[in-house]
Amino acid sequence: MRMSRVGLLSLSLVTLFALGCAGETGPAGPAGQPGEEGPSADPSISAITPSKAFVSRRAEVTVSGFNTTWTDAATLDFGPDITVVEKKIASPTGIVAVIEISEKAAVGARDVNVTEGGSTVTYKGAFSLDAPLEVSFEGTQAQGSILIASAKQKDLSTPFDLTTTGDGLFEPIVYTNLAVSGSEGVFGSVEDAQLYGASMIVFTDVKAAAGAADVAIASGPQGEEILSPATGGLQIAAREPVALTAGMSISGTVDQPFATLLYSYTPSGPGKIISVEALADSADAATGFAVLPASGKFSELLAFETAPTLEVGAEPVYFVYWDNSGTAGYNIDVTVKEIVPAETEPNNVCGEAQAVTALPATLDAFKMADKDDQDWLVIDVVEADVGKVIHVVTSPGEAQTDTVVEVVGSDCTTSLGVSEDSNYHEDFTSEPITAPGKYFIKISNSTYGYSGALYNVAITLE
């Protein structure tokens, strides 16, 4: 009984302290922060799915609305260079659209607008475009240049078409369904390719616009190509060509792999034969020049050789120095000269043969005017030369000039041998001379085809 009373007393004290005594109401506390605003009842766009797409593609996009009542009268706008080719009202708050994105569409974020009945709802920056191709370059990104490029296909739904011709041994491998294009003054070719990558050579014309330029790969059979651009992926720097003067040497530095140096030359008059040469202070250098006409276009390439020789008009020509071995860190001295042709026309038949008055002789800038042209030369052989051979060597000139050499006796008929025509240029030795007199050297074009005109010829008696 005593314990029960203690328990009741303790419970009463706890209750008393917990409730306290009733008093006056205290002052009001400070006002709290306002709560978040509830959802707007105004119509709006709540989502774009997917939220991005690639340039130069078609895509299906769902536009989701809030508190909208869209009907077939609703129109969609994704900004410049995107066309809505198909539209379906899935519900008053949903539109499914097929859009076509131009290759010229700018990459980046853009607004999406839905308009109906004079009212437009906008979702700012809700949709973005990306270039499907990513390209990196080695070389000089400038006007008048040759670049080594690596391309990555980011659109995994569009692998490259790897159809090829050629076996890589007797014929070069060519990717027949891959083509490189770009902004005006930019083009190239695919050298190697995988499903989602490619190696390219890209050319920038001397007069290509400076600034950001596009490079693109078209993949697929003709008429079914899918274009993958690298929008603004190439930065072309402006540069002035270094002017060359005949007989004078200009120094230059190759400071990075596949760098280019740009030169120009204006001939002293029309119909001149010029040659350009670079001497490098590195034994590893592979010197070479691409020669371009006054247009500065690689599509009108005149020659690409170590030391090109060619006939030009009175307009300027451009020389693009490019070491395709990738060697760098060396200097070159570039010299251009005008050559006085040693050939005297007419010399097309034995009876018109051009006399060579002294041996050994080196004669520059002979020319095959067409595929049927022949150049005849005549030398005098004295009694002391009987038993010797006539050694004839043809050389560039133009690398693609394809000559055939024959040595003929004084009757213009008896042959002392014909060169094998196993290469573009000949190194031919005749049969031994059996009697003194006049001997003729006939140089003609190969039956393999006429592709070059200029050549040099050296003649010795041995």
Q: What is the pLDDT of residues 291-306, one digit of tens each?
A: 999 999 999 999 999 9
Is the pLDDT assigned to residue 5 strictly greater than 50? no
pLDDT above 80: residue 263: yes
d(CA 438, CA 89): 95
Mean pLDDT of 156-165: 97
Which of 299, 449, 257 is closest to 372 using CA atoms? 449
Joined together, the tokens standing for residue 348 give: 């097309």
Residue 21 in this model has a pLDDT that exceeds 60: no
Per-residue H/E/C for 265-312? ECCCCCCEEEEEEEEECCCCCCCCEEEECCCCCHHHCCEEECCCEEEE
- What pLDDT, on a 0 to 100 scale, did the predictor assign at position 24? 60
Q: What is the mean pLDDT of residues 4-9?
A: 33
* Best CA proximity match to 129, nearest among 183, 57, 73: 57
Are 242-339 and 350-461 equal in CATH topology? yes
CATH for 350-461, among 1.10.3720.10, 2.60.120.380, 2.60.40.10, 3.40.50.300?
2.60.120.380
Domain boundaries, the chain: 44-130, 133-234, 242-339, 350-461
The yes or no reply on domain 44-130 and CATH 2.60.40.10 is yes
Q: What is the mean pLDDT of residues 82-110?
A: 97
Residue 2 has pLDDT above 50, yes or no: no
Q: 426 by DSSP, 3-state: which? A: coil
What torsion, rounded to 10 degrees, do the Cα atoms 64, 66, 69, 75 define? -40
- At 353, the pLDDT band (50, 70, 90 cuts) reads very high
Q: Give the mean pLDDT of 37-58.
A: 88
* 9, pLDDT greater than 80: no
**For residue 14, what pLDDT is reported?**
32
Looking at residue 109, its pLDDT comes to: 97
Residue that has been written with the tokens 């018109």 in this structure: 352
Identify whether the C-beta of residue 317 lies closer than 8 Å to the C-beta of residue 297. no
Class of domain 133-234: mainly beta
- What mean pLDDT do residues 434-451 have? 94
At residue 19, the pLDDT reads: 33
- Alpha-carbon distance 403 to 375, whole Å? 10
Class of domain 242-339: mainly beta
Confidence of residue 450 (pLDDT cuts 50, 70, 90): confident
Tell me the pLDDT band of 22, cut-offs 50, 70 and 90. very low
- Kindly report, residue by residue over 172-225, the tens digit of the pLDDT: 999 999 999 999 999 999 999 999 999 999 999 999 999 999 999 999 999 999
Q: What is the predicted pLDDT for the residue at 271? A: 87
State the pLDDT confidence band at 32, using cuts at 50, 70 and 90: low
- Give exposure, 366-380, as e/b (b: 16+ Cβ within 10 Å): bbbeeeebbbbbbbe
Question: Where does the pLDDT of residue 112 fall: very low under 50, low under 70, confident under 90, or very high at 90 and above?
Answer: very high
Percent of the chain with pLDDT over 90: 86
Instruction: With 0.95 as the threshold, say if the pTM is over it.
Output: no
CA torsion sign, 145 to 150 to 154 to 159?
A: positive
Mean of pLDDT over the chain: 91
pLDDT band at 430 (very low <50, low <70, confident <90, very high): very high
> What pLDDT, on a 0 to 100 scale, did the predictor assign at position 8?
29
